[in-house]
Amino acid sequence: MKNVIIVGAGEVGYNLASHLISEKKNVVLIDKDSEKVKYTSAHLDCIVIKGAGNNIDILEEAGIENCDIFISATDSDEVNLISCFIVANEFNVPLKIARVRNLDYSRKNFFNKSGSGIDFLVNPEIEASKSIVNSIVHGAVSDVFTFEGTSIQLRDVYIDDESDLIGMSLIELRKKYKFNFIVAGILRNEDILIPFGETKIKEGDNLYIVGDDKNLEMLFKKLGIKRKRIKDVVIVGGGRIGELVAKDLLTLGKNIMILEKDYDRCKELSEKYESLLVINADITDKNVYEEENIRNYDLLISATGNEELNILTSIYAKKIGVKRSIAIVNKTNYLSLASGMGIDATVSTKISSVNAILKFIRKGKVKSVYSIFDGKAEAMEITVKENSVLANKVLKDIDLPKGALIVAINRGSDNFIPDGNSKILAGDNIIIFALKNVVDKIEELISS
């Protein structure tokens, strides 16, 4: 599927377009806002059209007749839904995807029925809350990416100026810590590289490490990054994400307090969840930290609509004694900044939505997919079919494109890090870490 039309050049639409363009897809972006059209035209290598996505003339100008995937990702749920309805009824487009924020729309089963015309609904807040809860389940020691039906995980470790790993090569790292893991990628100066054995670790690096849950726990413990018991959680911001996370954590038996500055929203949350402690307070008031004993909490999640405030709140929480902190962060340059300042995990509504859409687009070939650091790389889980070119091949005989690495294999109940002599069998689930410029080649390889 090569031809993609995206309606809406906001954060989700723009970044999804950027990602698909890097995979050699033919992308057309539609937006009504002149400034967004101008900016997108100057920064992305695709056709950008000024207009409404629910206008048939505009859709025809965009090439809807030859479109394989239609994605409506404007700020209006209604526009996104109607655009998909129009495309479903007037044109023969295989996949129609709508971004919706209204939780009522997200939960309506009839939108997923064939008559609705929508193949997939993605809700940024729901996807972000899933990522937060997943991180908490694993101790909130880092960003955590899990893969379906396996205990294999991808985690990141920030190398600060006090790290004992500075100057150590990856070969030396493996010799010192004899656990079953691999450094799949290194984020260095906002670029991701696929390392080799002689690659030396530098201050400021983010290491993306793959292994199973037990081995990563032992490695992190040796590195001084221990999983801590998380029972008491404070959530700053009672918006959609804050509520969704609170709801899930309450079911897991956590003690939750929400700090929200809007009184009416506080009242609404209090009436909705009996076991939830809701405090009407502004986190920018320094006295709140003392009055609500925030230092005694195991985890602080900053989920306001202001990502600068989220970063500052999470940093300050760690400074006063909170064990772990998670921040909602969307801007690319803030992601690396947050890791370098001691925030344990960051979650992006934008990246969470992109991951969900990519996973749906590639369904059948890919079980799980994660966009790493604003789309600079991908980690994908693939089930090897009997007729796959990968089946019964030894790794060293597979012609993987430069910039891609098979980093883990799941076979039944066994998970292992392969070497060049490892053989891939039909039925294996394999994890591939790839730079964005070779993702299209990986797709071709697994499709052949």
User: pLDDT tens digits for 149-173?
Assistant: 678 888 888 787 778 889 999 999 9
**Rounded Cα gap, residues 323 and 298, in angstroms:** 5
Confidence of residue 347 (pLDDT cuts 50, 70, 90): confident
Q: For domain 151-222, which architecture applies?
A: 2-Layer Sandwich (3.30)
Helix (H, G, I), strand (E, B) or coil at 278: strand
**Rounded Cα gap, residues 127 and 106, in angstroms:** 11
Q: Which residue has the higher pLDDT, 91 or 223?
A: 91
DSSP 448: -
Q: What residues have CB less than 8 Å from 352, skipping those under 6 apart? A: 124, 127, 128, 130, 131
Containing 247, the helix (H) or strand (E) segment is helix 240-251
Instruction: Report which of 68, 52, 88, 74 is spatially closest to residue 124, judged by C-alpha positions.
Output: 74
> For the segment 361-392, what is each residue's pLDDT rounded down to a tens digit?
876 567 777 877 667 888 888 888 888 888 88
Confidence of residue 218 (pLDDT cuts 50, 70, 90): confident
Q: Which residue intervals of 44-123 are DSSP H helices?
A: 56-62, 77-90, 103-107
57 CB burial (10 A radius; 0-12, 13-18, 19+)? exposed
List the chain domain ranges: 3-122, 128-135+228-347, 151-222
Q: Which of 227-231, 307-311, 330-334, 351-355 has the highest mean pLDDT?
A: 307-311
- DSSP E strand stretches across 94-217: 95-99, 120-122, 144-146, 152-158, 181-188, 191-193, 206-212
What was the pLDDT predicted at 440? 78
Strands 152-158 and 206-212: antiparallel
What was the pLDDT predicted at 188? 85
Query: Lowest mean pLDDT: which of 54-68, 133-147, 210-224?
Result: 133-147
Which CATH class name applies to 3-122? alpha beta
What's domain 128-135+228-347's superfamily in CATH?
NAD(P)-binding Rossmann-like Domain (3.40.50.720)
In this chain, the answer to whether the domains covering 3-122 and 128-135+228-347 adopt an identical fold is yes
What was the pLDDT predicted at 110? 45
> For the segment 259-294, what is each residue's pLDDT rounded down to a tens digit?
999 999 999 999 999 899 999 999 999 899 999 999
DSSP 385: P
Q: Which residue has the higher pLDDT, 187 or 140?
A: 187
What was the pLDDT predicted at 60? 94
Specify the residue for token string 């980690």.
Answer: 379
